[in-house]
């Protein structure tokens, strides 16, 4: 790198803003570039906002051409909240910042401050599509689906190339579909089909705009499976699996979990469902982040044990789940029971031996 380009990089890295604070290492720079161009086109925000957007866009384009993989740093939610508060001190009437912070605060149950910010944002700039999408996300997170859909559809009229808004709409329609399916005593198949097809349409738009939106691809594949288009669903999942090396741990787990759902609910292939739920379970994440895959495996194991209480494989499966959740004593007990059913199973013996060593080591501490 030349001395001039090094100096330019240093100056560009100083262009930190609310667009860059909350980005992950695998950020899609092309999508961020589109968002910034929307800001410029719509001339949104307070005085000077367009100039700032051009500066940020220059940084994004420089990063896009010079480097996704080495891009910024990981941030935790409390840090992003602090940064948004700092940004609002500098720009107290920025409706986009207000709505972004409201969504963040609501995740930490700070509802009073969140609602106050939403009211300010809607009063300051109600037609701003970026405000609308964050307000829509807030409503969706709090089960106010009709309000969320209304806000997001309004936002989409002014930002048609936002994969984020299409994705948020798809999630709202998905909840509408699920609600219709859970109606008792009867559910309208026509209504279920209507919401499913609305959902498919928005997911298709999201991945068309942002082809690297792997989570949206996996959700779309499951919807195709519901439509009995299993071949297309399988094709999409295979493409998602090929992209796993590019994905972070949470995204990899989500893809394995959805592929497990595909095998379990649509292909009736219990063995392959176990394989992918287990792969998701074993990805090194926090205990609460493994909850979905753990729950799915427990359900399968309990179903197998209901048929046959002496099913060693099911008992070992429960042992594996307990071990992944950090419950070593419980895991050892399950593996002991599994060995009683299958005495010479080397896999169970090895797992039990390791667990006993770990338990012995922890007790001696």
Q: For residues 127 and 133, what is the distance between their CA atoms, to the nearest angstrom?
A: 11
Phi-psi region of 269 (alpha: psi -120 to 50; beta: other; left: phi over 0): beta
Phi-psi region of 342 (alpha: psi -120 to 50; beta: other; left: phi over 0): beta
The residue ranking higher by pLDDT, 235 or 145, is: 235
> Is a pLDDT exceeding 50 seen at residue 64?
no
pTM, to two decimals: 0.71
Mean pLDDT of the chain: 80
> Is a pLDDT exceeding 90 seen at residue 53?
no
pLDDT band for position 72 (cuts 50, 70, 90)? low
> Is a pLDDT exceeding 50 seen at residue 29?
no
pLDDT of residue 229: 96
The residue ranking higher by pLDDT, 36 or 215, is: 215
- Secondary structure (DSSP) of 239-275: HHHHTGGGS-HHHHHHHHHHHHHIIIIIS--HHHHHH
In residues, how long is the chain? 365
Least confident of 61-65, 113-117, 136-140, 335-339: 61-65
**285: which DSSP letter?**
-
Residue ranges and CATH numbers for the domains of the chain are 1-72 (no CATH), 229-281 (no CATH), 311-365 (1.25.40)
Q: Is the peptide bond before 185 cis (omega within 30 degrees of 0)?
A: yes
User: What is the average pLDDT across 61-90?
Assistant: 60
> Is a pLDDT exceeding 60 seen at residue 75?
no
> Is a pLDDT exceeding 80 seen at residue 258?
yes
The residue ranking higher by pLDDT, 28 or 180, is: 180
CB 315 within 8 A of CB 334: yes
Residue 296 Cα distances to 56, 88, 270, 301, 310, angstroms: 43, 43, 11, 9, 20
């Amino acid at each position: 790198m030349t001395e001039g380009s090094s100096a330019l990089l240093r100056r560009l890295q100083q262009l930190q803003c609310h667009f860059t604070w909350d980005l992950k290492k695998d950020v899609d720079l092309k999508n961020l570039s589109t968002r910034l161009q929307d800001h410029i086109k719509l001339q949104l925000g307070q005085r000077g906002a367009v100039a700032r957007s051009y500066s940020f866009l220059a940084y994004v384009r420089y990063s896009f051409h010079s480097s996704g993989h080495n891009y910024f740093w990981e941030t935790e939610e409390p840090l992003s909240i602090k940064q948004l508060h700092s940004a609002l001190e500098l720009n107290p009437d920025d409706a986009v910042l207000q709505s972004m912070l409201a969504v963040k605060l609501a995740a930490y149950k700070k509802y009073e401050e969140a609602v106050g910010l939403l009211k300010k944002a809607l009063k300051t700039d109600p037609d701003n599509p970026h405000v609308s999408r964050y307000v829509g996300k807030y409503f969706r997170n709090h089960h106010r689906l009709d309000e969320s859909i209304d806000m997001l559809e309004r936002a989409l009229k002014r930002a048609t190339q936002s994969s984020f808004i299409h994705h948020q709409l798809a999630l709202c329609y998905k909840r509408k579909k699920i609600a219709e399916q859970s109606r008792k005593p009867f559910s309208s198949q026509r209504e279920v089909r209507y919401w499913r097809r609305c959902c498919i349409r928005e997911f298709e738009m999201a991945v068309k705009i942002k082809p690297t939106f792997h989570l949206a691809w996996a959700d779309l594949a499951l919807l195709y499976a519901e439509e009995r288009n299993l071949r297309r669903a399988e094709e999409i999942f295979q493409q998602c699996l090929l992209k796993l090396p590019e994905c972070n741990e949470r995204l990899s787990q989500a893809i394995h979990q959805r592929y497990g759902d595909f095998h379990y609910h649509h292909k009736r292939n219990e063995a392959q469902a176990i394989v992918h739920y287990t792969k998701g379970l074993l990805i090194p994440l926090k205990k609460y982040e493994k909850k979905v895959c753990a729950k799915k495996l427990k359900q399968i194991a309990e179903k197998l044990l209901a048929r046959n209480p002496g099913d060693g494989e099911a008992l070992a499966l429960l042992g594996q789940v307990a071990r992944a959740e950090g419950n070593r004593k419980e895991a050892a007990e399950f593996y002991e029971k599994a060995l009683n059913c299958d005495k010479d199973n080397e896999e169970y013996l090895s797992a039990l031996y390791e667990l006993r060593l770990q338990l012995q080591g922890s007790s001696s501490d």
